[in-house]
Structure 1
Amino acid sequence: MNSLNVKLDSLITSQTRVKLLLKFFLNPESRSYLRELADEFGESTNSVRVELNRLSEAGLLNSFDEGRTKVYRANTSHPLFPEIHSMVRKFTGIDQLIPQVLSKLGDIHSAYIVGDYARGMDSGIIDLVLVGEVDKAYLQNLIDKVEPMLHRKIRFLTLSEDELEKFKATLKLDEAIELWSSGRGE
C-alpha cells in the first residue's frame, strides 16, 4: 500500500468520513442524500448522519432541500477545498494518471474517469475513457507499470470523437471527471 493511503487512513480514522470525502471531493459535482449514502456505503443512516453533520458544521459540505429531502455536496468555496480535493485525488491515485499515462500517449483529445470513481466511490477499479488516436499496446504497457503504484486496477476504453458522441449518454459523461482536454489548453 502506498504511503499516502496509510497516512490518510490513520489521519482520518472514521471510515464513513473517508467514504464521504471520497464521494464529495473526488468529483465535486457529486450530490447525494442521507439514505442514498447509507445504502451505497452499506452503513446505518445514523452513522452517515453523524459524519454528514460534522462535515457540514465544519463548512466542508453544503446542504439544501429538494422537496422533503436534504441533499449534500462539497462546498467548493471552502478555503480547504483545493487541498482536500488534491488529497483525495492522491489517495485514489488519480493524480498520477495524468503525468504518468496521458502525457506519453500521442494524439489524445480528451480523457475522462467514469464509473465508480466519477461517482466518488473507491471501488479499486479506475475506468478511464480516452478520446483520440491511442497506441493501445503502449497504453497497456504504461498502465501495467502504474497499477502497482496505485494499488488499483485501471480499465480503459479508447474512442474516436464520433464514437464519443454516440456513447456519451451510455458513459454518463455528465457524471465523469474530465482529466484532460485539448480544448482546455493543457
Structure 2
Amino acid sequence: MLESLITSKTRLRLLVKFFVNSKTQSHLRGLADEFGESTNAIRKELNNLTQAGFLVKESDKNKIAYKANVKHPFFSNIQEIIRKYLGLDKLLEQILERMGEVSQVILVGDLSRGIDSGKIDVVVTGDNLNEDYILNLSSRIEELIDRKVVLTLLAERMLSTGLVLFDKEVGA
C-alpha cells in the first residue's frame, strides 16, 4: 500500500533503512552495495531526503554518514508508518495477545539493522510463555503481514542487541 504513495522503490528502501531503527546510519557506497543499485540513484534520493530534513549528514573521516533526523517534527509519524508498513504493529499485538507473561519483544536480525530481507526475527522473553500458541502464531502472523517470521522464546531477559519493541520493565 505504501508503494502507491511513495513510488520510488529506492526512497522507500531508504526510509525503511533509517526509520525502523533510528540508530542506523550508513554511507553512500554501503547503501549502493546493499540495495544493488547505482550510487547515482542512491545519492539522488539521499539528497532529496536530506533537503527535506528527514535525514541528516555527518562527516565520518573521509565519508559522509546518513541517519534519520530524530529532531524532525514528523520523525515519530514516519517511523510509525514504516513500522506499520512492515507489519511490526500487528506482530507485537499478536505476541502480546495470548503469549503469556511477556517481558520483552526484541527485533533482531536484518530488519533491526534496517535491511528489509522479507524475514522478521523476533526474540520474546518472559515467564510461562504459551509455547503451544507460539507454534501457530508464526504462520498466522506471516499471513497477516506477508513476511517470514521467526520467533525465538527465552526465559531470561536479554540485553538488547536489536530493536526493543516492548519492554515490560521500562514500560515501552
TM-score (norm 1): 0.87
The answer on whether the counterparts of 1:101 and 1:143 sit within 8 Å (CA) in structure 2 is no
Q: Please, which of 58, 61, 66 is the counterpart of residue 72 of structure 1?
A: 66
Taking the TM superposition and a 5 Å limit, the aligned residue runs for 1:54-133 are 54-133=48-127
The answer on whether the counterparts of 2:98 and 2:130 sit within 8 Å (CA) in structure 1 is no
- CA drift of 1:145 comes to 1.9
The letter of the residue matching 1:143 is S
Looking at structure 2, the residues matched to 49 and 58 of structure 1 have their Cα atoms a distance apart, in angstroms, of 14
Query: What's the secondary structure of 1:77's corresponding residue?
Result: coil
Looking at structure 2, the residues matched to 122 and 25 of structure 1 have their Cα atoms a distance apart, in angstroms, of 12
Aligned to 1:139: 134
Query: What's the secondary structure of 1:47's corresponding residue?
Result: helix
> More helix per residue: 1 or 2?
1
Query: What's the secondary structure of 1:184's corresponding residue?
Result: coil
- CA drift of 1:103 comes to 3.2
CA RMSD of aligned residues (A): 1.4
The letter of the residue matching 1:152 is R
Query: What's the secondary structure of 2:73's corresponding residue?
Result: coil
Q: Please, which of 156, 166, 171 is the counterpart of residue 161 of structure 1?
A: 156
Looking at structure 2, the residues matched to 73 and 137 of structure 1 have their Cα atoms a distance apart, in angstroms, of 40
Aligned to 1:151: 146
Could you list the runs of 5+ residues in structure 1 that have no partner in the other structure? Answer: 1-5
Q: Please, which of 37, 43, 48 is the counterpart of residue 37 of structure 2?
A: 43
- CA drift of 1:95 comes to 1.1
Aligned to 2:163: 177
Aligned to 1:3: none
Query: What's the secondary structure of 1:129's corresponding residue?
Result: strand
Looking at structure 2, the residues matched to 137 and 154 of structure 1 have their Cα atoms a distance apart, in angstroms, of 16
The answer on whether the counterparts of 1:126 and 1:154 sit within 8 Å (CA) in structure 2 is yes
Query: What's the secondary structure of 2:78's corresponding residue?
Result: helix
Aligned to 2:24: 30
Looking at structure 2, the residues matched to 80 and 136 of structure 1 have their Cα atoms a distance apart, in angstroms, of 39
